[in-house]
Amino acid sequence: MIDSFGRSISYLRVSVTDRCDLRCVYCMSEDMTFLPKKDLLSLEELDRVCSAFVSLGVRKLRITGGEPLVRRDVLSLFQNLGRHLKTGDLDELTLTTNGTQLEKYAQGLVAAGVKRVNISLDSLDADRFRTITRWGSHAQVMTGIRAAQAAGLKVKINVVAMRGVNEDEFDDLVAWCGQEGFDLVFIETMPMGDIDGDRTSQYLPLSLVRAKLARRWTLDAIPDTTGGPARYTRCAETGGRVGFITPMTHNFCESCNRVRLTCTGMLYMCLGQDDDADLRAPLRAGADDGLLLAAIEEAIGRKPKGHDFVIDRRHNRPAVSRTMSVTGG
C-alpha cells in the first residue's frame, strides 16, 4: 500500500480495548467512561481485519489499547495472528503494555510468536509510579517485566517525559535499562483527549532531555530503526540503545509508515488528525473481504501529509478529542 505522498504503509497498530487497569495522568481522566462492550469488534473480527491488512502488505502488527492484556481471551488473538509469521507474510507481531498482566501472559505470548514487547514504565520509584498511574503497583509491573525477561522477550521500556514529575530519574532509567539489557525510549506528551490536569505544565521537549542526558552519558546517533517513529542513540557507557519519539519538536511525518485501528473498527490514518474510515460496516456487510479491502485502500489514499500538534498556553486544549487509549499508542 502506497499513499498519495509515496509512503509505503507496512505497519498497523491495533487497539483491542479502550479499557485499562491504570489511569495514567497524561492519558486518561480518573473517571473515564469506556465504550459499551457491544461496540467493540470481536476477536474474530479483529483477526479478520488484521489479516486483510497483512494481505495488502502490512509486515508489522502492534497490539495495543487501552491495556491490551485486560481484554478477555486476548491470547487467542495473538495465537491466531501468529499464523502469518509462520507463512512469512508478517515480519513481526508485538504489543505495547503497561506490564501489569505480563506475569500471566509472557510465556503464552512467546509461544504465539511474539519476540519483543514495549512496556511503559514512567518511574522506578513505587510511590511516584502510583501517583502517575493513580493507583498502579510498581511491584506488579516489575514482576511482569521479570516474567517477560524470563520468557525470552526482548524488552523496550517506554517513558513519557514529564516536567517536574519524572525528569530527575532519566539518568537512573538509562543506567537501569543499560544494566538490564533493555532498550529505552523517551516520549513527549501529546495533546490527545481531555485529561484532568494541565498539559502545558507537564510538557517537556525531548531536546532538553537529550541535552541534559548528554552531561552524564555519551549518546551517539545510530541509524537503527525498529520500524517505528523512534530515533535511536547508543549509550557508550552502558552499550544500550536510547531512543526519542519527538512528535512535538521534530516532525516525524515524512517517514510515517503507520495507520491505527481502534477497537470499534475505525481506521485513523494519522494519530494527530481526525480523518477516519469506518471498517466495521464493510467488515460486517458479509463474509467476503472485497468491501473491506476496498475500504482500506480508499482510506490509505486519504492518509494526510502530517499532523500539527501544538502545546502552548494559547492552545491549551487537545489537538484531537480522542485519547491515546482510543486510538492506540
List residues near ligand SAM by CB under 6 A.
20, 26-27, 64-65, 67, 96-98, 120, 158, 160, 187, 189-190, 192, 324-325, 329
Q: Give the residue with the Cβ less far from ligand SF4, 66 or 144.
A: 66
E-assigned strands of 179-239? 183-188, 219-222, 231-235
Q: How far is the CB of 66 from ligand SAM (least distance, A)?
A: 6
> CB-based contacts of 6: which residues, under 8 Å, 6+ apart?
none
Name residue 186's amino acid.
F
Nearest to 84 by CA among 109, 59, 49, 115: 59
Q: How far is the CB of 160 from ligand SAM (least distance, A)?
A: 4
Binding-site member from 66, 113, 193, 228 for ligand SF4 (CB under 6 A): 66
CA distance between the termini of the chain: 22
Binding-site member from 1, 14, 22, 119 for ligand SF4 (CB under 6 A): 22
Binding-site member from 9, 12, 16, 20 for ligand SF4 (CB under 6 A): 20
Q: Specify whether the CB–CB gap between 131 and 162 falls below 8 A.
A: no
Cα 113 to Cα 82: distance, rounded to the nearest angstrom: 6
Q: How far is the CB of 121 from ligand SAM (least distance, A)?
A: 9
* Contacts to ligand SF4 from residues 297-326, by CB under 6 A: 325
Does 144 engage in binding with ligand SF4 (CB under 6 A)? no
Q: State the binding partner of 23 from ligand SF4, ligand SAM, none, CB within 5 to 8 A by kind.
A: ligand SF4
Q: Give the residue with the Cβ less far from ligand SAM, 291 or 306.
A: 306
Q: Give the residue with the Cβ less far from ligand SAM, 27 or 270.
A: 27
* Contacts to ligand SF4 from residues 80-119, by CB under 6 A: 98
CA distances from 34 to 13, 43, 211, 319, 322 (A): 20, 18, 39, 21, 12
Nearest to 114 by CA among 137, 139, 100, 94: 94
Does 272 engage in binding with ligand SF4 (CB under 6 A)? no
Beta bridge partners of 15: 64
Does 23 engage in binding with ligand SF4 (CB under 6 A)? yes
Q: Residue 29 corresponds to which cell in the numbers above?
A: 481522566
Q: State the binding partner of 158 from ligand SF4, ligand SAM, none, CB within 5 to 8 A by kind.
A: ligand SAM
Nearest to 309 by CA among 245, 261, 266, 258: 245
Look at the chain and count its residues: 329
Cα 172 to Cα 178: distance, rounded to the nearest angstrom: 10
Q: How far is the CB of 161 from ligand SAM (least distance, A)?
A: 9
Q: How far is the CB of 53 from ligand SF4 (least distance, A)?
A: 22
Does 27 engage in binding with ligand SF4 (CB under 6 A)? yes
Q: Give the residue with the Cβ less far from ligand SAM, 51 or 98.
A: 98
The angle that helices 138-150 and 126-133 make with each other, rounded to 10 degrees, is: 100
Q: State the binding partner of 47 from ligand SF4, ligand SAM, none, CB within 5 to 8 A by kind.
A: none
Query: How many residues belong to the site for ligand SF4 (CB under 6 A)?
Result: 12
Neighbours of 318 (CB within 10 A): 17
Q: State the binding partner of 253 from ligand SAM, ligand SF4, none, CB within 5 to 8 A by kind.
A: none
Cα 133 to Cα 153: distance, rounded to the nearest angstrom: 24
Element of type H or E holding 199: helix 199-202
Tell me which residues touch ligand SF4 (CB under 6 A). 20, 22-24, 27-28, 65-67, 98, 120, 325
